Each structure stands twice: as C-alpha cells, then as structure tokens.
Amino acid sequence: MGQQQLEHFVFAAFAFAATVTAAEPVPAPLPEAPQLSLYTEHNPPLTYLSADSQKIEGLVFIIVDEMLKRANINYTIELLPWKRALSLTRRSPNTCLFAMDRTPDRENKFLWVSPLYEGRWAFFKRPDSPLELESLADIAPYQIATVSGYASANALQETGHERILNAGTNVDAVRLLFHGRVDLLLTGAVEIPYIAKEANTPLPLEALPFKNVSTSMGCSLDTDPDLMRKLQQINEEMTDFKRQVMGQATPTD
C-alpha cells in the first residue's frame, strides 16, 4: 500500500469511528437516589432495637420506612439517646429525627413531615393511688416525673408547675413512680403499656389527659426543600396505611 493509499485508509477509519460514536452515544449515568440520615430513639412501640433481629423496628419505623420507599429515597438510620439525636439533627444537613412531637417551641427549628400519627400525653398514677384529678389545676401539689428533653416535659414547665423530676428515659420515669419518688408520671398514652412492661411494673392508670399532639418527623433546616415537599405529599397519601399500622398498638383503656 502506498503512502497516499495508507493516509486515505487511516482517514476513512477515523471517519467511520466518528460516525459510530455519533450514532451510539454513551448513555449518561442515572442520577443517584437522594439519601437522608435518620435518627430515632428506643421508645417502644414506636421505635426500638429488636432483641431478636438486632434491627430497628416499631410502628412509626414501619410508617417512615414505607414512606421513604414510596419516595425512592435511600437512608441510613441510627438509634441514639433522645437529646443527642435532637442535637445532631438540628446541625446536620439532610437529617431527620422521628418520632418527634410537633410543638410551637419546635415549629421553626425544623422542617416537618407531619403528622405520622396523632398522639396524646396524659398524667398517670399508680393503680393503688387515691389521687382524683379533674383539671390541670389539681396537679399543683404533686411531684411529677417527666423525661428530660421531651416536648411533654417542656409543655409541663410552661404551665408554671415547679414540682418536676426529670428522668433520662421513660423506663426511669415509670420506676420513679412505683418507687414512690413522684406522685404522677407524664408520658404518651400509646407508649405507657410498653414502658410498664419494660420496667417490669404494673400498668399505671390514667389520671388526667394533658394534650393532643401531632407526632411527626422533624428534619434539619438544611434539608432539601423539594425532598421535604415530596415526603409530605406521600405522607398525606398514606392515611389508611398509617391508621392500620397504629391500630396494632396496645390500647390503654
């Protein structure tokens, strides 16, 4: 092959390769699914570490997991003490904490997916207690156990009640009640049968309702707003699913 023929062949080969490349472009990589970092606490039946599977389970976990699956959002999850989880969520982007009660003092500190379910707080007494309460004014003489950092504890303080003993966990709080350190326990009505079981105490009796609350997922202010809108829309579409899941909770009545 002569020099001129060789040059013509090389040019033709490059032209052919360019044509193939133009006709069959390399597909762009698919965008990665968005990801959230999630925190929760040990608070049966809502969220807890299963002794059998060593995985996080619970009624509210089922709701959140389903919601994120429908939104095609990947996530990591870690179970931590409540106050630490609350602090980490506030200062970390694309990070959420559940199950968090949505209250006025928290409203502007987080972005919200709400409600996951409608809960309520109540005052509980020992089964042998003679206390009879008809209104919030009736709690004034009594020492009350709450959990430090919980919205219910903050709400009680806002009423001006001063005789409060803060515990580290719900289990610690119910033990304070049965050890006679306090007269009443303030906690969630859904949780109380599970708290008593874990603390190995009798089931406390409801003495007085306190407040209804929207139990929600709170996310840091640096979380993607488009992601939040998507999650809120899906959460609103899951009404029947959420009702079925929360219907599995043990009634307190």
**pLDDT computed for residue 31 by the predictor:** 55
Sign for the CA dihedral angle at 140, 199, 188, 165 comes to positive
Rounded Cα distance, 92 and 171, in Å:
29
**pLDDT computed for residue 13 by the predictor:** 40
**pLDDT computed for residue 250 by the predictor:** 73
Residue (of 170, 166, 167, 178) closest to 195 by Cα position = 170
**Mean pLDDT for back-to-back runs of 10 residues, the chain (253 residues):** 43 39 43 85 96 95 98 97 96 97 96 97 98 97 97 97 96 98 98 96 98 98 96 98 93 56
Q: DSSP for 161-181?
A: ---EEEESSHHHHHHHHHTTS
Number of helices (H) and strands (E), helices first, in the chain? Answer: 8, 10
Task: Decide: 95 and 89 in contact? Cβ < 8 Å.
Answer: yes
Around Cβ 211, how many Cβ atoms within 10 Å?
16
**pLDDT computed for residue 33 by the predictor:** 65
**How many CA atoms lie within 13 Å of 141's alpha carbon, on the beta-carbon side?**
4
Residue (of 101, 67, 108) closest to 227 by Cα position = 67
- 102-to-28, 32, 39, 45 alpha-carbon distances in Å: 42, 31, 16, 19
Task: Decide: 100 and 219 in contact? Cβ < 8 Å.
Answer: no
Residues ≥6 apart with Cβ < 8 Å to 139:
123, 133, 161, 184, 208
**pLDDT computed for residue 165 by the predictor:** 98
Rounded Cα distance, 34 and 72, in Å:
8
**pLDDT computed for residue 34 by the predictor:** 79
**pLDDT computed for residue 109 by the predictor:** 97
**pLDDT computed for residue 163 by the predictor:** 98
Around Cβ 230, how many Cβ atoms within 10 Å?
18
